[in-house]
């Protein structure tokens, strides 16, 4: 009976079956409806992108003292999502990075003479950001005097030098007193001017051991001025050009002004002495930089010429005809067949900062200009100096490509077409002593056999004694030499395909003097 009763209880009734079917049907209906609901949700507009925000903060030293003129650079953690943003701290150390896309950003903060700080921060930031740099700031102050006993209130005081990215200025108070705070380690130059009066440039070195800085006394005297006009290579006046007058040798405190609508300028006052005058304007190249001897109270005339910069473009391909992206292409201005090296005063920017600066901000246009080819291999170089130049293409794991001479006219636009960069052949091997020990730092040269006029290619063996020289296809002789060892040469090495590594065995000079010989003198067999 129990078994039958149990069986009856287990048998579902019509109502039970109907209920189960209803529930199952609802479940299926719900499951069938769910994708439609998801599809509808997908069809709705996506949530609106959050608007850009500003990130504000303060830069200070390790003691909590604000640092003026600090550079703060920010770039998205996802580097493809935005560009670099930068700001400069004010006299209270405060900065504002504007219009940042919400997300994670990398911040780089630096100030001359202090440690560099790099951190990641989420944007927007709930509170004002504090960037503390390693190091403790100093203050440099002093007194501006018209005579040895009479202060000069209202004098303009400028601070510069190789340790500062930007010069800093302040005005002497009613007692002729001035002060600059938040200075790091380094060499500084300081000068005062008022009307037609100017002081000599004073220098101050701040080191780790520097504590109290004695006040600087700046005595004013009669100054000199430079006046003139800036024109281009066609004789047209150039308004808005920057004119710098530099002492020779430079004290890193150039006196600067801008040309007016007629290209005219007057700059000063400056102490009597020897000076060089330069002019700069975006898209133009300086043709001459006159040197002047200034005397107290004088005004010397100077005519400056800027040529219209030339443009060179083209495309970088490998030897298989494929485009090469991110390849550095440079144009080097030549003077009498030699590289033109130009030096400007002041501190150089960081690499990340320089990448964002406008044309002509880092070096005088026309000396050496470099650009990277894009994904299609195209490149464009602007602001090039007219005259004789050399083009260089430097690709990783390729032979360097040079084209010389490249003769450019003012305002020239030259399309060089396709520049094919050959792969070349890699000659590799190892330098050992006669006992089989590695010889790091050995000098290895590859001399072309057929073209003696071509200079040899030189490399240095690494800590494992290994070396690699990339050369054009051909036949070479290899030579190796190391300190306290006799040199060795290997002739008739063919650079074709994938040559086997070669091995040098250098005998010590002492063994050679005793009549010993290297176990692999002459042309050792290559290692396989």
Identify the CATH number of the domain in which residue 368 sits: 2.60.40.10
Identify the CATH number of the domain in which residue 451 sits: 2.60.40.1120
Residue 18 within any structural domain of the chain: no
Identify the CATH number of the domain in which residue 267 sits: 2.60.40
Judge if the upstream peptide bond of residue 124 is cis by omega within 30 degrees of 0.
Answer: yes
Digitized pLDDT (tens) for each residue of the chain, 528 residues in all: 343 333 333 344 433 334 434 334 444 443 444 444 454 445 555 545 778 889 999 999 999 999 999 999 998 887 655 578 999 999 999 999 998 888 889 999 999 889 899 999 888 876 789 999 999 899 999 999 999 999 999 999 999 988 788 899 999 999 999 999 899 999 999 999 999 999 999 999 998 888 788 899 999 999 999 999 999 999 999 999 999 999 998 888 999 999 999 999 999 999 999 999 999 999 898 888 999 999 999 999 999 999 999 999 999 999 999 999 999 999 998 864 444 444 444 444 444 444 443 333 333 444 788 999 999 999 999 988 888 899 999 998 899 999 888 899 999 999 999 999 999 999 999 999 999 999 999 999 999 987 665 778 899 999 999 999 999 988 999 999 999 999 999 988 999 988 999 999 999 887 666 555 444 443 444 443
Task: Return the H-helix or E-strand segment holding 103.
Answer: strand 103-110
DSSP β-bridge partners for residue 480: 444, 488
* Phi, psi at 141, each rounded to 5°: -140, 180
The number of domains in the chain is 5
Residue 346 within any structural domain of the chain: no
Task: Return the H-helix or E-strand segment holding 511.
Answer: helix 509-513
Residue 118 within any structural domain of the chain: yes
Instruction: Give the span between the Cα atoms of 59 and 474, in whole angstroms.
Output: 59
CB-based contacts of 248, cutoff 8 Å, min separation 6? 273, 274, 275, 276, 291
Q: Is 4 exposed, middle or buried (0-12, 13-18, 19+ CB in 10 A)?
A: exposed
Q: Model-level pTM?
A: 0.64
**74-115: pLDDT as tens digits:** 988 876 555 789 999 999 999 999 988 888 899 999 998 898
508 with 440, same domain?
Answer: yes
314 with 398, same domain?
Answer: yes
Characterize 470-503 residue by residue with b for buried, 16 or more Cβ atoms within 10 angstroms of its Cβ, and e for exposed. bbeebebbbbbbbeebbebebeebebeeebeebb
For 388, 391, 404, the CA distances from 338, given in Å and listed in that order, are 10, 13, 12
DSSP β-bridge partners for residue 180: 140
**The two three-digit tokens of residue 189, written as one number:** 């130059």
Contact 189, 161 (CB under 8 A): yes
Q: Where are the beta strands (DSSP E) in 296-396?
A: 299-308, 310-318, 328-335, 338-339, 368-372, 378-384, 387-393
Q: Residue 261, Cβ neighbours under 10 Å: how many?
A: 8
122 with 171, same domain?
Answer: no
CA 14 to chain centre: 84
Q: Is 304 exposed, middle or buried (0-12, 13-18, 19+ CB in 10 A)?
A: buried
Residue 212 within any structural domain of the chain: yes
Domain extent, residue 394, equals 310-341+362-421
Q: Which strands make up the sheet holding 129-132, listed edge to edge?
A: 94-100, 53-60, 129-132
């Amino acid at each position: 009976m129990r078994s039958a009763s149990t069986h009856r209880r287990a048998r579902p009734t019509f109502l039970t079956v109907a209920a189960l079917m209803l529930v199952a049907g609802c479940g299926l209906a719900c499951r069938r409806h769910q994708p439609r609901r998801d599809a509808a949700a997908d069809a709705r507009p996506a949530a609106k992108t959050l608007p850009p925000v500003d990130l504000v903060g303060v830069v200070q030293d390790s003691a909590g003292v604000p640092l003026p003129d600090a550079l703060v650079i920010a770039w998205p953690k996802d580097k493809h999502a935005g560009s670099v943003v930068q700001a400069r701290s004010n006299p209270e150390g405060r900065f504002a990075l504007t219009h940042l896309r919400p997300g994670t950003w990398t911040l780089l903060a630096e100030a001359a003479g202090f440690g560099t700080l790099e951190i990641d921060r989420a944007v927007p930031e709930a509170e004002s950001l504090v960037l503390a740099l390693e190091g403790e700031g100093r203050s440099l102050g002093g007194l501006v005097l018209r005579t040895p006993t009479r202060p000069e209130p209202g004098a303009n005081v400028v601070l510069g030098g190789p340790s500062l990215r930007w010069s800093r200025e302040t005005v002497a108070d009613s007692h002729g007193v001035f002060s600059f705070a938040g200075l790091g380690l380094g060499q500084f130059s300081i000068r005062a001017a008022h009307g037609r009066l100017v002081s000599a440039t004073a220098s101050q070195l701040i080191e780790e051991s520097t504590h109290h800085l004695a006040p600087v006394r700046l005595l004013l005297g009669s100054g000199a001025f430079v006046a003139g006009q800036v024109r281009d290579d066609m004789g047209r006046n150039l308004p808005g050009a920057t004119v710098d007058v530099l002492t020779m040798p430079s004290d890193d405190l150039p006196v600067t002004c801008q040309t007016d609508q007629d290209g005219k300028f007057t700059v000063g006052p400056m102490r009597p002495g020897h000076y060089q005058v330069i002019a700069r304007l975006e898209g133009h190249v300086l043709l001459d930089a006159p040197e002047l001897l200034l005397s107290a109270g004088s005004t010397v005339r100077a005519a400056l010429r800027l040529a219209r910069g030339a443009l060179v473009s083209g495309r970088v391909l490998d030897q298989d005809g494929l485009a090469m992206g991110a390849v550095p292409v440079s144009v080097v201005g030549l003077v009498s067949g030699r590289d033109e090296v130009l030096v400007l005063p002041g501190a150089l920017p960081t690499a990340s900062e320089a990448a964002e600066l406008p044309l002509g901000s880092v070096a005088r246009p026309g000396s050496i200009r470099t650009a990277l080819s894009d994904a299609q291999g195209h490149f464009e170089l602007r602001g090039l100096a007219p005259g004789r130049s050399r083009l260089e293409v430097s690709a990783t794991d390729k032979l360097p490509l040079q084209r010389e001479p490249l003769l450019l006219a003012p305002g020239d636009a030259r399309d060089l077409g396709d520049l094919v960069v050959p792969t070349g052949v890699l000659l590799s091997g190892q330098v050992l002593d006669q006992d089989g020990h590695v010889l790091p730092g050995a000098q290895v040269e590859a001399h072309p056999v057929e073209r003696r006029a071509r200079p040899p290619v030189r490399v240095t063996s690494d800590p494992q004694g290994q070396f690699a020289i990339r050369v054009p296809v051909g036949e070479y002789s290899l030579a190796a030499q190391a300190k306290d060892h006799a040199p060795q040469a290997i002739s008739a090495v063919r650079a074709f395909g994938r040559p086997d590594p070669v091995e040098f065995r250098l005998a010590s000079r002492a063994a050679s003097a005793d009549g010993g010989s290297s176990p692999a003198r002459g042309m050792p067999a290559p290692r396989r």
